[in-house]
């Protein structure tokens, strides 16, 4: 691989916003590892991109499985020795699953959205540190903004996804903590909201296309050395926590 070509890893990338992030990063010349917990779905998503001439490699990754995360970190260490960009994209909401109790919804959301992010960040941080310009982008949501939650004029004021919002508030808190802890290693960590997007997660009710949601994520993945860290933002700028 070209020494100057950056290497990115995107979790939950076989569909939705994750796949759009992979596509946009690869079109900007980044070599992208397309993480998918189902190998066949990852291959199916990656094949058209490779046929387009893009530098994309599907890789198996279940962020709820420590062995899966560790195996991928070892593979990246062996094959590349470094990682430049980590996009913690994989995420779920169980708030509308009727057969689950609130505790079960929270537990499921925490395992993917929060513990999954910790597993990934802890495993990949040593590889990102070797980059000298490591970037982590955590997919968050404006639904986790306490400021917006208290604003009755906010268009999504009536959206009720309590366990999802709480899990993304934890993502925001971890973003601030990791931004501080990893700063000395040249790693920038930001939490980004892609906006209300038409994907399976929203039953395709979102008003934006995955490519629109991916654009601001890609901007933060490719931040220059003068870019911010520890922020919560969308395409319009910083979001009040
Ligand atoms: N859509 C929106 O309006 C919106 C708004 C704000 C924030 N976000 C955030 O943006 C991110 C992407 O959302 P999306 O709308 O693109 O969702 P999506 O279409 O439902 O895609 C979610 C992806 O995460 C993967 N995933 C789920 N559990 C996983 C696990 N244990 N390990 C690895 N991958 C796993 C899914 O894989 P499978 O295909 O195998 O299930 C899928 O590839 C999420 O973090 C979401 O919370 C979305």
CATH of the domain at 212: 3.40.50.720
pTM: 0.98
Look at residue 57 and tell me if it is in a domain: yes
Is residue 197 one of the residues assigned to a domain?
yes
Does a structural domain hold residue 2?
no
Examine the residue annotation and report whether 156 is marked as an active-site residue of this protein.
no
The domain total for the chain is 1
User: What is the side-by-side order of every strand in the sheet holding 85-88?
Assistant: 56-60, 31-36, 7-10, 85-88, 135-139, 188-192, 232-234, 237-238
**108 occurs within a structural domain:** yes
Q: Is residue 66 one of the residues assigned to a domain?
A: yes
Q: How far apart are CA 31 and CA 220, in angstroms?
A: 16
Give residue 2's pLDDT. Answer: 52
What is the span of the domain harbouring residue 97? 7-238
3 CA to centre of ligand 1 in angstroms: 31
Whether 31 has a pLDDT exceeding 90, the answer reads yes
Q: Could you report the per-residue pLDDT of 34-84, keeping only the tens digit for each?
A: 999 999 999 999 999 999 999 999 999 999 999 999 999 999 999 999 999
> Looking at ligand 1, which residue's alpha carbon is closest to its atom 44?
91
Q: Which residue, by CA, sits nearest to atom 9 of ligand 1? A: 139
End-to-end CA distance of the chain: 40
Does some domain include residue 1? no
* Residue 139 three-state SS: strand
Q: Quote the ligand 1 centre to 76 CA distance (angstroms).
A: 23
Which percentage of the chain shows pLDDT scores above 70? Answer: 99
């Amino acid at each position: 691989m070209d020494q100057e070509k950056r290497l990115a890893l995107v979790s939950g990338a076989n569909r939705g916003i994750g796949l759009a992030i992979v596509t946009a990063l690869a079109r900007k010349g980044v070599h992208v590892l397309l993480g998918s917990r189902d190998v066949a779905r990852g291959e199916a998503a990656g094949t058209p991109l490779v046929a387009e001439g893009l530098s994309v490699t599907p890789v198996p990754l279940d962020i709820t499985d420590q062995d899966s995360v560790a195996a991928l970190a070892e593979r990246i260490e062996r094959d590349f020795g470094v990682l430049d960009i980590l996009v913690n994209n994989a995420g779920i909401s169980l708030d509308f699953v009727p057969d689950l109790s609130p505790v079960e919804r929270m537990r499921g959301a925490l395992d993917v959205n929060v513990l999954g992010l910790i597993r990934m960040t802890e495993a990949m941080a040593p590889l990102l540190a070797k980059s000298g310009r490591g970037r982590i982008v955590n997919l968050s949501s404006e639904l986790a903004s306490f400021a917006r939650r208290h604003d009755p004029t906010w268009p999504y004021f009536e959206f009720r996804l309590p366990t999802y919002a709480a899990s993304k508030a934890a993502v925001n808190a971890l973003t601030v903590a990791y931004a501080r802890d990893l700063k000395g290693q040249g790693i920038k960590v930001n939490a980004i909201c892609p906006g209300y997007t038409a994907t399976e997660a929203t039953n395709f009710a979102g008003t934006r296309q995955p490519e629109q949601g991916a654009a601001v994520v890609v901007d933060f993945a490719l931040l220059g050395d003068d870019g911010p860290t520890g922020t919560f933002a969308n395409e319009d700028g910083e979001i009040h926590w």
